[in-house]
Amino acid sequence: MELETGAARGQTEMQAAVGADSGLAPTRQLLPSGHPLVDGRTATSPLIQTTLGKPVPHTPVWFMRQAGRSLPEYRKLRAGHTMLETCFDTDLTVEITMQPVRRHNVDAAIFFSDIVVPMKAIGVDVEIEPGVGPVIATPFRSASDLDRLPDLDPGNVASIAAAVTALATELGHTPLIGFAGAPFTVASYLVEGRPSRDHVHTKALMLSDPTTWNRLLDRIATICAAFLRMQILAGASAVQLFDSWAGALSPQDYARNVLPHSKKVFDAIADLNVPTIHFGVGTGELLADMEKAGSSVMGIDFRVPLNVAATRFTRPLPLQGNLDPAVLFADSSSVDAAVLRILDDARGLPGHIFNLGHGVPPDTDPDVLTRVVELVHSESARRFAQSGYTATQN
């Protein structure tokens, strides 16, 4: 049993913890009958089964920022279009989302968009500047700025919903992961006005004017939840909430000023009963609190080994991660060794989705990513077979 997969070993405990298995598929009455989780296209995929702590034939793998600048075909398609124009263009979004799936044989597509897209859709004056990131013309610093955050009008994201629906059809059995930025990370762009290392204005607002802070994060939570709900109903089989910059916070500030708002996002979509993933960078000290937000899977960055991260949670959770993106630039034997070490770390988990510990760097050689997918698939399938485990044993 040495080599038994995490998915097989942790199953009973996991199912007790999440109530996932009554022998029946999870109820998803609120999804349309043609949704890929309902009509059977993606429900039995390795990614979705892993989120439920069920056994899988191989470890599913996808990469944060798998679509984008590391791919020459992306750079070609993007020429002449701004980033946000591209995000609101149905055909470009579909094609860019599909590119890494075709090239790398990953187990999921991540919807091509950006965390500031719902802000653009409600009228915030934001652009994504090449080489910089999101830039807000007039940063949010006081209570009156909240008037610039109306509810998300579905009519303003119709081209995006159309892209999700088209992708769900084109992807067949491969699940589409929708996403949104978490309230803190989105707020950090709105308040700072541009990418920031130290988030001083954001933290100053949080500490000096908690009323405005809480109203701001509550507004963002409502808008992000509506954006996620739209993606799920249009055909996404799972969603990820990116709280990329939460690691800039102390555990006390996170628990008090951020966690309730991230929890609100997960609570707002809980009725749809689709798998949810929660991820942040440098969040080792926050994991115990992030669990309380209520996702079904936790994303772990490369700073904490998966088996160590598992000890920070109160219940057995499937984990996603966590190859250091910098490893992709090392020689191939170092890459292979790092991948195998992560599979080792994941052994006792109730489920493991292989990913990087953060996004694919723009100058990554895409062939290295393809090789990582092949190695994760072949090695996890080999370990699975050696464990003697068969699906019929369940």
Distance of CA 1 to the CA centre of its chain: 32
Pairing of strands 109-110, 176-181: parallel
**361 contacts 325 by C-beta, under 8 angstroms:** yes
**340 contacts 354 by C-beta, under 8 angstroms:** no
Pick the catalytic residue from 21, 28, 69, 89: 69
CB of 393 to ligand 1CP, least distance (A): 36
How far is the CA of 11 from the CAs of 16, 134, 327, 348, 392, in angstroms?
9, 41, 31, 10, 14
Using CB under 6 A, pick the residue from 9, 58, 65, 219 that binds ligand 1CP: 65
- Which of helix, strand or coil describes residue 319? strand
**What's the sign of the alpha-carbon dihedral 215, 218, 223, 226?**
negative
Asked whether position 71 contacts ligand 1CP by CB under 6 A, the answer is no
Asked whether position 112 contacts ligand 1CP by CB under 6 A, the answer is yes
Q: Which two tokens stand for residue 144?
A: 């009156």
- As a whole number of angstroms, the distance between CA 310 and CA 303 comes to 13
Q: Is 189 a catalytic residue?
A: yes
Any idea which residue has 């997960």 for tokens?
Answer: 266
Question: What's 44's DSSP letter?
Answer: T
- As a whole number of angstroms, the distance between CA 349 and CA 374 comes to 21
Which residue, 123 or 130, has its beta carbon nearer to ligand 1CP?
A: 130
What element of type H or E holds 290?
helix 287-291
Pick the catalytic residue from 9, 41, 74, 78: 78
Which residue, 10 or 282, has its beta carbon nearer to ligand 1CP?
A: 282
**93 contacts 77 by C-beta, under 8 angstroms:** no
Q: Is 114 a catalytic residue?
A: yes
Which residue, 69 or 215, has its beta carbon nearer to ligand 1CP?
A: 69
Which residue, 99 or 296, has its beta carbon nearer to ligand 1CP?
A: 99
Binding mask 156-195 for ligand 1CP (x = CB under 6 A): -----------------------x-----x---------x
Asked whether position 283 contacts ligand 1CP by CB under 6 A, the answer is no
Stretch touching ligand 1CP by CB under 6 A, among 67-75, 206-214, 254-262, 320-328:
67-75
Asked whether position 353 contacts ligand 1CP by CB under 6 A, the answer is no
Asked whether position 282 contacts ligand 1CP by CB under 6 A, the answer is no
- As a whole number of angstroms, the distance between CA 303 and CA 97 comes to 28
Q: At 81, phi and psi to the nearest 5? A: -120, 135
Binding mask 216-245 for ligand 1CP (x = CB under 6 A): --------------------------x-x-
Asked whether position 108 contacts ligand 1CP by CB under 6 A, the answer is no
Asked whether position 10 contacts ligand 1CP by CB under 6 A, the answer is no
Which residue, 112 or 227, has its beta carbon nearer to ligand 1CP?
A: 112
What residues are labeled active site?
Answer: 65, 69, 78, 114, 189
Binding footprint of ligand 1CP on the chain (CB under 6 A):
64-69, 83, 110, 112, 114-115, 128, 130, 133-134, 179, 185, 195, 242, 244, 359
